Amino acid sequence: MNYEKRKRDYTIESDKNVAITLLQQIPACLYNHDRNLMLEVAYDDSSEDTIVISTNYFRELVYNLEHIVHHMALIRSALMKYLQ
pLDDT in tens, 4-49: 888 988 999 999 999 999 999 989 888 889 999 999 998 887 888 9
3-state helix, strand, coil split of the chain in percent (to 5) is 55, 15, 30
> Which uninterrupted H or E stretch holds 52?
strand 51-56
Question: What's the DSSP call for residue 42?
Answer: -
Of residues 39 and 1, the one with the higher pLDDT is 39
For residue 16, the Cα-to-chain-centroid distance in whole angstroms is: 18
Total tally of structural domains belonging to the chain: 1
pTM here is 0.73
Domain limits at 61?
A: 3-83
The answer to whether residue 82 scores a pLDDT higher than 90 is no
